[in-house]
Amino acid sequence: MKAKDKKRSGEAEIKMEDKKTMNTLKARLGKENYRKLIRIDNPKLHQFIAKYVELCNPDKVFVCTDSPEDIQYVRQEAIRAGEEMELAMEGHTVHFDGYYDQARDKKNTKFLLPPGVDLGLNINAMQREEGLKEIHDIMRDIMREHQLFVRFFCLGPLKSEFSIPAVQLTDSGYVAHSEDLLYRSGYEEFVRLGQSARFFKFVHSAGELDERMTSRNINKRRIYIDLEDETVYSVNTQYGGNTIGLKKLAMRPAINRASKEGWLTEHMFIMGVHGPSVGVTYFTGAFPSLCGKTSTSMLPGETIIGDDIAYLRKKDGVIRAVNPEKGIFGIIQGINSEDDPLIWKTLHSPGEIIFSNVLVTEEKGVHWIGKNEAQPKKGFHHSGEWTPGKKDAEGIEISLSHPNARFTLDMRHIETLDTELDNPEGVAIGGIIYGGRDSDTKVPIEESFDWVHGVITMGAALESETTAATLGKEGVRKINPMSNLDFLSIPIGKYIENHLNFGMELKNPPPIFSVNYFLRDADGNFTNDKTDKAVWLKWMELRSHREVEALKTPTGLIPKYEDLKKLFREVLDKEYPEKDYIEQFTVRVAENLARIERVEEFYKTKVPDTLQIVFEVLKEQKQRLTLAREKYGDYISPNKLSFTKKV
């Protein structure tokens, strides 16, 4: 066949496919929903939607535009279907996941990889064709008797080089409603982009529901990520971390795309810290769940752009960042009026908020673990009717709310929302923070010597105890590079190499810091208060502009006592005894050396593509610690260290 004839034949096949797609959509969507969809001039989008409408076979399809009426319809449907229940406070609703569907299912979250692609030992994956066959078999007719919501969003500010359009198909009104609070509406962006849109795709079904409207077949819970087609599949689950496609699930294809294009997708907040001379300095921060990430980003007196995810690009010699989200899906455990006044006020004010897996009281209020109010004598939650001492089928006592209970809200309800949230250019980053749970080693705040030292000893070597945010045992110490291990879609060695290159190409990369709010004394008590993080942030802001000096230790740069004493008075209006400073900032040599051994073992045994520079930097840190121990002993008071001028 001649080339010209082949071209005509190919064009004819495309036209036939397009015609078939349009006929399917007309038949399944109805006149009004079809009209909404074809406003978007993107045949690939139409084919994707038609394919999964046919496969999943919903009773009804609703195409949601950016109109307030369409968005309100989704919220009402979540309530009508019993996935959410209205509470006493105006705008507040509650959602319950199944008792055994309360966290990210790491075991059944897998990458679908073509032959020859290997992401490394730490990344859960399976053969692509096998995975697609399995997930498509599970999804066949899975939406029968359900309504399918077709949603359009934009990850990041509209009309920005940072941003990624995304389409979500879901039969859960709760998931669709949650995404309205968390993401920027993207229907008109799809219309504007037309055929040029490079969009992510998400397909979710809660599957067959029980009498409580929760997923029945969690033994067939699957969350599969197809990097080749930038599509995420999630079935037989309702928990937000498994189902809200644009959240952590979207991080996987975003990390993969960023790696190819020379930018970063990070598990980081973005916040503005307000200083005495420069005004506002923007920081990003990566913390595993339940390590103080959201509470840090929402400190009184500072401003928040995002509490969870950041896209970072190099522009004009500086790092700039945007938040792909516009809302918060936050852990509610421990939030109280004293430590978290801003979020506490928001959670007790009228406005659109979804609570999940909390306790609902007789008055249709909500209660959770760590709420500093009298505990209710009874209530209703994810296990049904609850009273103190209730046990589950395994004989385990059921707490008044789940440890991973959540709240979902649009950040416009938060008083400290930064005005730069929707800036399509992003904000310039003045510092990067890594934090985790560490009871015996890391000091509360420390600055790296330089970009490479920070990326390796604070980011790549980040170690933290596991929490209730993932299924499995709590309290297990694990190495979690950049707090992003669960979401990586590229080999770990390549990911760290990307970080090293990203900063080393800049003339003046921002300083890197580590924080640890969980250091304990010999009696097991925390050595600092929750509110002290406000002081650590102010010190980091001063250091980012070299406005204060620092003490040089074998592992990094720490504050001088005089500077912290002043900041405690100014920021918290309290005294800071020198004995507290010595206890908190003592260099624990043996513990640090043991930590390095664990990090080295991790990279030697589990990351075969680790760059040699990682081991060299760790070796240098080990040598500094060993020399310091020979001179000062195993526990080195900061008072024995000499500071360097404005390092």
Q: Which residues are catalytic?
A: 291
Q: What angle do CA 547, 549, 554 make, to 5 degrees?
A: 140
3 state SS of 153: strand
CB atoms within 10 A of CB 543: 23
CB 409 within 8 A of CB 353: yes
Longest Cα pair distance anywhere in the chain, in angstroms? 87
Structure tokens at 365: 């209020």
Integer Cα distance of 589 and 555 in angstroms: 10
Length of the chain: 647
3 state SS of 131: helix
Integer Cα distance of 59 and 148 in angstroms: 8
Integer Cα distance of 262 and 467 in angstroms: 32
CB atoms within 10 A of CB 198: 10
Structure tokens at 323: 């938040």
Q: What is the DSSP letter of 263?
A: -
3 state SS of 196: helix
Structure tokens at 341: 């006044």
C-alpha pair distances (Å), 7 with each of 14, 17, 192, 220, 371: 11, 15, 29, 44, 67
CB atoms within 10 A of CB 311: 26
Integer Cα distance of 445 and 455 in angstroms: 16
Hey, what amino acid is at 485?
L
Q: What is the DSSP letter of 373?
A: S
Integer Cα distance of 231 and 511 in angstroms: 36
Structure tokens at 321: 């960042």
Hey, what amino acid is at 315?
K
The tokens 């080339």 sit on which residue? 3
Integer Cα distance of 26 and 510 in angstroms: 53
CB 173 within 8 A of CB 150: no
Do strands 184-185 and 303-306 pair parallel, antiparallel, or not at all (unpaired)?
A: unpaired
CB atoms within 10 A of CB 407: 23
Integer Cα distance of 311 and 305 in angstroms: 12
Considering just the CA atoms, what is the radius of gyration of the chain in Å? 25
| CA nearest neighbour of 580 among 523, 526, 508, 499 | 526
